[in-house]
Structure 1
Amino acid sequence: MGVSLYYTARRATPLTDAELTAVGQVVDTYNANAPFSSEEEGLYLYDRLEPGTVLDGSTKLPGADDRAVPSLVHWLAAVTALRSAVPVADWTFTLDDYEIEWDGHTGYHLPGLAD
């Protein structure tokens, strides 16, 4: 059984061309530089969006313990970058059912993870 990250941004107005470009760059950069990029799932954005949703996606974390923490640190930074690309939205970010809270100074992180 795997563990996944889920991220969603909601707002009334669609993404601008500049935001779409920035999101694409974040996805390309973080997927290309993932710790285990050839073997693991990266940022995956869904094509079909609910009304009012401008970004929705998931990332499955590796099951191997030695890969989980480096991958999680990487994907937390990736979703922080996604949020920076689309700052004016209502964001939800979860590790399965556990909500990961936003910190205005450090972005998304889990205490003690990067130590």
Structure 2
Amino acid sequence: MGVSLYYTARRATPLTGAELAAVGQAADSSNAGAPFSREEEGLYLYDRLEQGTVLDGSTKLPAADERAVPSLVHWLAAVTALRRAVPDADWTFTLDDYEIEWDDHTGYRLPGLDD
């Protein structure tokens, strides 16, 4: 059974052209620089969005323990970059059902991962 990250940004106004470009660049850069990128899923942004949702996506983490932590650290930074590209939205970011907290200075992090 796999573990996944889920990320959603909601607001009343759609993404601007500059925001779309920044989101695309963040996603492309993160996917290109991902650990184990050939074998694992990257940032997957959904095409079909509910009304009021401007960004929605998921990333499945690798099942192998030795690959899960480096991948998780990488994807936390990637979703931090997405959020910084669309800062004025209402964001939800979870590791399955566990909500990952946002910090304005460090972005998304989980305790103990950087140790």
TM range (shorter): over 0.9
Name the CA distance, whole Å, in 2 between partners of 1:85 and 1:18.
Answer: 9
Residue type at the aligned position of 2:83: R
Give the match's secondary structure for 2:93.
Answer: strand
Partner residue in 1 for 2:82: 82
Give the match's secondary structure for 2:27.
Answer: helix
TM-score by length of 2: 0.99
Partner residue in 1 for 2:62: 62
Partner residue in 2 for 1:106: 106
What value does the CA root-mean-square deviation take over the aligned residues?
Answer: 0.3
Name the CA distance, whole Å, in 2 between partners of 1:103 and 1:49.
Answer: 26
Residue 82 of structure 1 and its aligned partner are, at CA, apart by 0.2
After TM superposition, which residue ranges in structure 1, 4 or more long, deviate above 4 angstroms? none
Is 1:31 matched with 2:31? yes
Give the match's secondary structure for 2:41.
Answer: coil
Unpaired runs of at least 5, structure 2:
none
Residue type at the aligned position of 1:23: V
Residue 101 of structure 1 and its aligned partner are, at CA, apart by 0.5
Unpaired runs of at least 5, structure 1:
none
Give the match's secondary structure for 2:111.
Answer: coil
Residue type at the aligned position of 2:104: G
Partner residue in 2 for 1:51: 51
Partner residue in 2 for 1:97: 97
The count of residues paired between Structure 1 and Structure 2 equals 115
Amino-acid identity (%): 86
Residue type at the aligned position of 1:93: F
Residue type at the aligned position of 1:4: S
Give the match's secondary structure for 2:59.
Answer: strand
Residue 114 of structure 1 and its aligned partner are, at CA, apart by 1.2
- Deviation string 1:20-79 (CA, Å, 9 cap, x unpaired) is 000000010000000110000000000000000000000000000000000000000000
